[in-house]
Amino acid sequence: MAEIDHCFAEEFFDYLTLHLDMPLSEVTAKKLVKWTRQIVKTGVKKKWISSNPMEGFVCSGGSKEVLPLELYEVEAIHNKQIDIDRIGEVRDAFIFQCFTGFAYQDMYNLEVAPKSGTHFCTS
């Protein structure tokens, strides 16, 4: 760790995004540099090194564009035969969210209405 200098983060990022046979995306490379920076930070806490030379490297930014699914893709997921109950429930919840627009937390907070003898409309 003592050999890591202030240029390491940028050089590591360049290596991951430019010099690998299959270069990583900027988002993935920044994530790996961030994890490495956290390891070096632990080295500072444990007094293996006096300061974190990677502290100045900014790991934010770089977002991937997420394209919405087409209706035929949603239908393919809906019609997919899934033999594992847990995965089938995840699929059903996802499809429910697609058609209702509910966020995961909203869906999670839903409760099943009582079945017998309870009416919601009073007249």
Q: Are residues 52 and 11 in the same domain?
A: yes
Query: So what's the pLDDT on residue 95?
Result: 93
* Regions of the chain with pLDDT less than 70: 60-64, 116-123
Q: Are residues 21 and 57 in the same domain?
A: yes
Give the range of the structural domain holding residue 101, as residue numbers without chain letter. 71-108
Query: So what's the pLDDT on residue 92?
Result: 93
Over the chain, what HEC string results? CCCCCCCHHHHHHHHHHHHCCCCCCHHHHHHHHHHHHHHHHHHHHCCCCCCCCCCCCCCCCCCCCCCCCCHHHHHHHHHCCCCCHHHHHHHHHHHHHHHHCCCHHHHHCCCCCCCCCCCCCCC
